[in-house]
Structure 1
């Protein structure tokens, strides 16, 4: 009899969890949509009148991507009065050197230089690559932007405008530029629906959730809180720990109105899955309890849980509930996607539907892949993550 009552309590608790979870998830849909409509891609009048400071732009580069020159050139075209660009390249023989020189020659009036031979201070290759530029930059505000990011003319001005007295770091919602091909649509829809929804809601709730694709930082505060960029080289997810160190010391992180437009010329569904698996491994190491709930935030699993819950409490048909849930989720994602696109969709409704469905069904495989092999492959090196996010390089086996 006691086992029967225990099983009944478990079912009741699981069904109650399903109802509460879905209520929270739909609230997140509403909040992210409203935030995107009100704050994203906006240029307030005071933006052009704001007091501006000099900015050092640090660009970590390794190898040549088909869109690299286009991406680099966008930094020479930003609408900002005083800035310098420092290209950080580890190897002097890297072909990225020639691309940088070619772009610099087109814009001789913009202060720019190439620094090579990055300093190895830890296992994180990005931090190692940035150290030489970090040591010679001349402005207190520095902006780290990944090689695959293309910026809009107002992006830097908006970042600096968000850097108020209580803010020490400004980051951007990861998104993608429009590129040809179906695999690009899958990636764009992921960053324009599930990822952006979680990212924006975490920001509104004051939860640390950021990527270092486009990050503006106060150096004086940053050095005081972290001891310098080199001290973050023990982590693969150095961007998360940047924000955490600043937040632990009472500083705020702000979100830019302009997203970080990923514009890599190398993309595929397989590459997207590998990238998502790598990010999942990082989250497992840093916030394991949150990762346990992560699968339930996806459409299909949340829908199954809701259908079971409403069938248990109200005897509603599970199939009907599930189908209505999927339809409602799809419509909410589409509206949010349109808001992030500023109403100008560059993919067809059919492509959106197919890519959305494929992206949703890939989630279980991504999570399984992350759990199956916990090591991380990044820039031709392999790393093992320890609890808390610290990493150690795994020696290559010849």
Structure 2
């Protein structure tokens, strides 16, 4: 066999393997969502004996939903927890929101910390340090400012924290909101993101986002405490890695981590996706292959492989494969939503097509510029996940 023909056969075989892997990911994710999410977890310990939890809440600035989101944490139905509100700047308007809630709920064990402590380049870690140092419970729950919870969310997470589990995380999703940008976010966090997130966790790869994570404080302390992760921008990945390296298992909550930011636009969504892609590329160089797992690119590769191996029409296969992907994503989105969607099937179709069309542009933008803008800072990423702050002269 000629070298060219041998190479083409190898590429066709790769396309066939890619097809199998990607559809296994679809199936794993859809089945897991149907069996695990939105299911009331069995009571593994009496309510009164649930462990105490220190909630660390990093806050910066005020968006239209901050007050209502934050208030849901003051209304948690949980026997023993404290809320440690952390604000970096003395003039941050989030301070007034915190004081308002502290006055409204005097019986909730909650405190406000202003000023942070500079221990590294990660602004979130710097902000949380004063709260982490005084946290009095064995479990710490780090939860972003834009997250909204139900009264039993913490009970659900704590019930997953069995004796061999060191970290419980929530699958990121988005609350129902008005506007196309909100629909685009919800479609992404209900289709592409959970497909890789869930299939990675089910097959043994530790994939965790820090939007809502319940962790054992003593395990973090063994790794050096929060300060040990201040050199990274993606502190959640490295905290999860440190916990896994010490032999602890992970568990996923049955409730999603419900993002409910009051500020939403397509530009903000693109910037966020580009920042995440930059972090993944620098932490895990293998993610350079991510584009082949996107619908349109994968369908072209697999369509060419089907043509080379079975003489099928490339364009017909491409269209059929994209349609099957589109339907599988819709089934998964419905499962993660756990109820009726807030938008029409036409809205879904438009948002899905735009998201898939944006994927390559987002990836190329991440490769083009190695710097990251996050909050008020700008950072240069280094291989391995570390970063340095770029100071404007």
TM-score, normalized by length of structure 1?
0.96
Q: CA deviation at 1:48?
A: 7.9
Which residue of structure 2 aligns with residue 255 of structure 1?
A: 252
The counterpart of 2:231, out of the listed 207, 229, 234, is 234
Higher alpha-carbon deviation: 210-219 or 338-347: 338-347
Contact 1:189–1:337 under 8 Å retained in 2: yes
Q: Distance in 2 between matches of 1:370 and 1:233?
A: 23
**1:246-283 Cα deviation digits (max 9, x unpaired):** 11111111111111111111111111011000000000
Contact 2:141 2:213 in 1 (8 A): yes
Note the residue ranges of structure 1 that are not aligned, 5 or more in a row: none
Matches of 2:64 and 2:134, distance apart in 1: 29
| Structure 1 stretches of at least 4 aligned residues deviating more than 6 Å after TM superposition | none
Could you say which residue in structure 1 is the equivalent of 2:327?
331
CA distance in 1, matches of 2:18, 2:316: 19
Q: Give distance in 2, aligned partners of 1:310 and 1:368.
A: 27
Q: Distance in 1 between matches of 2:63 and 2:5?
A: 57
Query: In structure 2, how many angstroms separate the alpha carbons of the residues matched to 1:44 and 1:208?
Result: 22
Does residue 287 (structure 1) correspond to residue 284 (structure 2)? The answer is: yes
Partner SS, residue 268 of structure 2: helix
Match of 2:301 among 289, 300, 305: 305
Of 105, 121, 124 in structure 2, the residue corresponding to residue 123 of structure 1 is: 121
CA RMSD of aligned residues (A): 1.2
What pairs up with 1:46-65 in 2 under 5 angstroms? 46=43, 49=46, 51-65=49-63
Is the partner of 1:46 in helix, strand or coil?
coil
User: Tell me, what secondary structure is at the counterpart of 1:66?
Assistant: coil
Pick aligned residue for 1:314 from 310, 319, 325: 310
Q: Is the CA contact (8 Å cut-off) linking 1:47 and 1:157 kept in structure 2?
A: no
Deviation for aligned residue 1:137: 1.3
CA distance in 1, matches of 2:309, 2:181: 41
- Kept after mapping to 2: 8 A contact 1:118/1:131: yes
| CA distance in structure 1 between the partners assigned to 2:255 and 2:214 by the alignment | 13
Give the Å deviation of 1:49.
3.7
2:338 pairs with 1:351: no
Alpha-carbon separation, structure 2, partners of 1:47 and 1:71: 28
Cα offset, 1:395, TM superposition = 1.5
Residue number in structure 2 paired with 1:394: 390
- How far, CA to CA, are the matches of 1:388 and 1:208 in structure 2? 16
Find the aligned partners of 1:148 and 1:9 in 2 and give their Cα distance: 53
1:268 is aligned to 2:265: yes
Q: Which residue is 2:166 aligned to?
A: 168
1:346-385 matched pairs, under 5 angstroms: 346-385=342-381
Give me the whole-angstrom Cα distance separating, in 2, the residues matched to 1:242 and 1:330. 34
Is 1:243 aligned to 2:243, yes or no? no
- Are 2:167 and 1:185 aligned? no
In the aligned structure 2, how far is the partner of 1:392 from the partner of 1:324?
A: 46
How many matched pairs?
392
* 1:47 Cα deviation from its structure 2 partner: 6.2
Residue 14 (structure 2) aligns with:
17
1:58-91 Cα distance to aligned partner (Å, 9 max, x none): 1001111111001100101222111110100111
Q: For residues 127-176 of structure 1, give each alpha carbon's deviation from its aligned partner in whole angstroms, at most 9, with x where no partner exists.
A: 00000000111111110000111112221111111111111111111111
8 A contact 2:45–2:159 mirrored in 1:
no
Match of 1:32?
A: 29
Residue pair 2:41, 2:254 contacting (<8 A) in 1 also: no
Q: Is the 8 A contact 2:41 2:159 kept in 1?
A: no
5+ long unaligned stretches in structure 2: none
CA–CA distance in 2 between the matches of 1:191 and 1:212? Answer: 15
